[in-house]
Structure 1
Amino acid sequence: MASADRLTVAEGLARIRGLTPRLGVETIATSEANARILAETVHARSNVPRFACSAMDGYALRSADTEGASEGAPVALALNPPLSTGAAATTLAPGTATPISTGAPIPPGADTVLVRERATIEGDRLRLPAPIAAWTNIRAEGEDVARGAVLGTGGVRLDPERIGMLAAAGIGQVLVRCRPRLGYFSTGDELAESIAGSASAIADANRPMIAALAEDAGLRLLDLGHASDSAADIAARIERADGRVDILCSSGGVSGGAFDFVRACIEARQGEIAFHGLEMRPGKPLLFARLRSGTLYFGLPGNPVAALVGFRFFVLEAVRTALGLPPEAGQAILHGEAEGQGPTRFLRVCLDADGDGAPRYDASLDQRSHILSSAARADGWLRSDDANGTSTFFPKRSGRLT
């Protein structure tokens, strides 16, 4: 631990993971499960394809009927009525061929399909000037997915391709982790939704920014508005959200000044302060607590970039843990010898490449905690840990988590 009062970033993240419970589960339609996290192993209920079917529009026939066919002695097969996709197939009689659509079942007795573009029709017969090999242009039953195959395990995030595979294999519903519920409010008498007509108001940038970050991550957001620098106002918003959300966040009111009431409001409700302050820049005053109801509480600093770092790397770490996902790893980069126990820095960086094409991380952007424009221009974050001489690159946003 870096000091008697503050944890290191690694210690803070470990404490968040240790205090964050797994979310419950719910059953939802497969069609509505994009980006959701599976909560159990799913097995295919049917083969895909369910039956042998045609891979092409063409003609289903018996390969044995084409043996010996040549230009000089072509084979002529009588044509049956066409077989469309989804229709029941009847047994193919020897010496006949059935027009067939892509995906239609192979008629019993048939073992090959001639592509329509290669077919020569003379009256009501199919003319074949060469033999056709067995099992040509046929999709075998279960060649994509076999009945009973594992289609996903607990912790897998569903994507459009896997949803398609689940649906094809007869899975109409899936058991998934519940989506985390997030409550958020900003604090500060100086903040206003609109600065029009005021010479001293400061625009509340954190509230729409945090809402957008929550939407990016797929969280359900309870917007609790903006609280004044009043213990009663802050306490009322905590009261409104407590027990209704899994994670409650606020920005501002955690630095220890005369009007910073967040910690006192949590303690008045007998909440457990897990840490208040981490050895990092920006965002040193970050607060993490657990309310009596079990709701997790993050008190983010008021400066916009500090609030952004707090949400991006700490609130979302709790979300990942609640969903059963592993910690975000990033890309480790060796940058030199250890320099002691300095604070961890979250640097806004632009990506470039050196002469050999290797990635280069340009941290020359303005790194002050109130400069949001540099975060907008950045390609990602470099977490720099002087204590062990390493840095880790993270993309600007974590992406959809649920």
Structure 2
Amino acid sequence: MNFFETPPCYNEADSYVYAAIKPVLRTESVNLDASLHRVLAEDITALKSIPPFSRALKDGYAVKAKNTAGIFSDNPKIFEIIDYLYAGGVSKKYVSENECVSITTGAKIPDGADAVVEIEKTGIENGRLCIYESIGYGVNIESEGQEIKKGKILLKHGTLLNPSRIGLLASQGISNVKVFEKPKVAIISNGEELNGIDDILKDGQIYDINSYTVASIIEENGCLPLKFGIVGDNSSQIRYVIEEALKVSDFVFISGGSSKGDKDFLTEILQKLGRIPSFKIKQSNGKSGIFVLSEGKPILGTPGFPSSCLINAYVLLVPALRKMTQIPCIYNMNFTAKLSENIDVSSNVTGRFLPVKIEGDRAFPLASDNKGLVNIAKADGYVILDDGTATIVEGAAVYVNLF
């Protein structure tokens, strides 16, 4: 395996990781109730026209439009009310000359009628309707199939299902849909200092934070997290757990063991597992990440320090997850804001990752002397700083990625 002589920066690493990822093409059928944020694996054809019948867009009276010709306020016309129709009902009456049917919004237009006079433009005299304005053909009526005709493509393969699209499927009486399976992402936490959050901490130990933050990110981006627990600093044990994870997952994420140190075995292990050139990722404070492909499956190793792990997850893992799930990039939450103060890129303690708070159209960097998770948890999003830029001045436009 060949590592890059000069480790890539985040901007480059993001591209390398993304290019190595392949979409997960396995499919499954799910109930419509469980389809939110899933990606369609087939075209959906309209089983019914929308709307399924011509219907009233306003409360009023269904008439023949030609019978209202010449009507105006000083020359009203009397119509016989032959039926009363509400949404969900059907009139058996045929609307003939100088007749009308009282109708509510959403009700099916009765036979013979081709327009709906709004109730505000009418009055009742001796039990009969008095119309004060003429009306054109088709006014206040939504025609059958006006939105989509039966047999036409309703939603295309690759569409991300959101609430409005789920509603559209429900309008067709579709209860199950074929979608792409959620990619499975294994999470391994490496380090003798780690303990489960339900266990009692010994002196020198910390809780396993990373498996929870990373699992949340994985779920948030349409994948299924598989926790493989905490693995101590034993090279044979680490390799065994990685190999087991590769058997059941599409992607393996490892926190801890990617930096240089006597007990950091991860680089050596992944060099043996990887089958094509991969790379280490340079970060601040001497920390580094590592990425390899093992028999086509990606493995991303990150530093165990919680904020470093979280940064890697957002910058490198999230784009990979979205490519695996086939979630269109349009759904990434980002926008341009104005920086609230000057930033010395070289002295930023979180490297090229700048956490920010958003107020209006301005991005406020959080305390530059705090590299911990608490500071990042206060942020609304982050900015990836350019390696080639020494300083970003107040008021400069920056690209903010929202958490």
Deviation of 1:320 after TM superposition, in Å, equals: 2.3
1:400 corresponding residue in structure 2: none
Deviation of 1:311 after TM superposition, in Å, equals: 0.9
Find the aligned partners of 2:76 and 2:363 in 1 and give their Cα distance: 67
Give the counterpart of 1:258 among 251, 257, 262. Answer: 262
2:292 corresponding residue in structure 1: 289
Change in 2 beyond 3 A, CA 1:360/1:11: closer
Change in 2 beyond 3 A, CA 1:198/1:73: same
Find the aligned partners of 2:64 and 2:25 in 1 and give their Cα distance: 55
Match of 2:84, SS state, is coil
Is 1:177 aligned to 2:184, yes or no?
no
Find the aligned partners of 1:197 and 1:18 in 2 and give their Cα distance: 41
Taking structure 1 as the reference length, the TM-score comes to 0.80
Give the counterpart of 1:350 among 343, 353, 357. Answer: 357
Is 1:393 aligned to 2:395, yes or no?
no
Find the aligned partners of 2:81 and 2:189 in 1 and give their Cα distance: 75
Find the aligned partners of 2:402 and 2:73 in 1 and give their Cα distance: 66
Change in 2 beyond 3 A, CA 1:73/1:254: closer
Moved more, 40-49 or 213-222: 40-49
Deviation of 1:246 after TM superposition, in Å, equals: 1.0
The letter of the residue matching 2:284 is R
Cα deviation 1:118-143 (Å, max 9, x = unaligned): 54345653233444443332123344
Moved more, 168-177 or 131-140: 168-177
1:54 corresponding residue in structure 2: 56
Is 1:126 aligned to 2:134, yes or no?
no
Is 1:198 aligned to 2:202, yes or no?
yes
1:80 corresponding residue in structure 2: 82
Find the aligned partners of 1:227 and 1:104 in 2 and give their Cα distance: 64
Aligned 1:63-78 pairs, distance under 5 A: 63-69=65-71, 74-78=76-80
Match of 1:81, SS state, is strand
1:34 corresponding residue in structure 2: 36
Match of 2:164, SS state, is helix
Deviation of 1:252 after TM superposition, in Å, equals: 0.7
Cα deviation 1:197-229 (Å, max 9, x = unaligned): 633321222122222222322321112222222
Find the aligned partners of 1:73 and 1:382 in 2 and give their Cα distance: 68
The letter of the residue matching 1:6 is P
Match of 1:51, SS state, is coil
The letter of the residue matching 1:315 is L
Find the aligned partners of 2:43 and 2:7 in 1 and give their Cα distance: 41
Aligned 1:158-173 pairs, distance under 5 A: 158-168=161-171
1:238 corresponding residue in structure 2: 242
Change in 2 beyond 3 A, CA 1:390/1:3: farther
Is 1:384 aligned to 2:390, yes or no?
no
Change in 2 beyond 3 A, CA 1:380/1:247: same
Give the counterpart of 2:114 among 111, 114, 123. Answer: 111
Count of matched residue positions in the alignment of Structure 1 and Structure 2: 386
Deviation of 1:301 after TM superposition, in Å, equals: 0.9
Cα deviation 1:230-249 (Å, max 9, x = unaligned): 23432343243223111111
Instruction: Note the residue ranges of structure 2 that are not aligned, 5 or more in a row.
Output: 393-397
Is 1:248 aligned to 2:265, yes or no?
no
Moved more, 66-75 or 125-134: 66-75
Taking structure 2 as the reference length, the TM-score comes to 0.80
2:22 corresponding residue in structure 1: 21
Find the aligned partners of 2:321 and 2:152 in 1 and give their Cα distance: 30
Deviation of 1:375 after TM superposition, in Å, equals: 0.5
2:366–2:375: 8 Å Cα contact kept in structure 1? Answer: no
Instruction: Note the residue ranges of structure 1 that are not aligned, 5 or more in a row.
Output: 398-402
Change in 2 beyond 3 A, CA 1:92/1:8: same
Is 1:102 aligned to 2:105, yes or no?
yes
Aligned 1:146-157 pairs, distance under 5 A: 151-157=154-160
The letter of the residue matching 2:357 is C
Find the aligned partners of 2:338 and 2:101 in 1 and give their Cα distance: 66
Find the aligned partners of 1:158 and 1:309 in 2 and give their Cα distance: 28
Match of 2:102, SS state, is strand
2:5 corresponding residue in structure 1: 4
2:308 corresponding residue in structure 1: 306
Aligned 1:211-226 pairs, distance under 5 A: 211-226=215-230
Moved more, 78-87 or 140-149: 140-149
Find the aligned partners of 2:36 and 2:333 in 1 and give their Cα distance: 23
2:187–2:229: 8 Å Cα contact kept in structure 1? Answer: yes
Find the aligned partners of 1:85 and 1:248 in 2 and give their Cα distance: 54
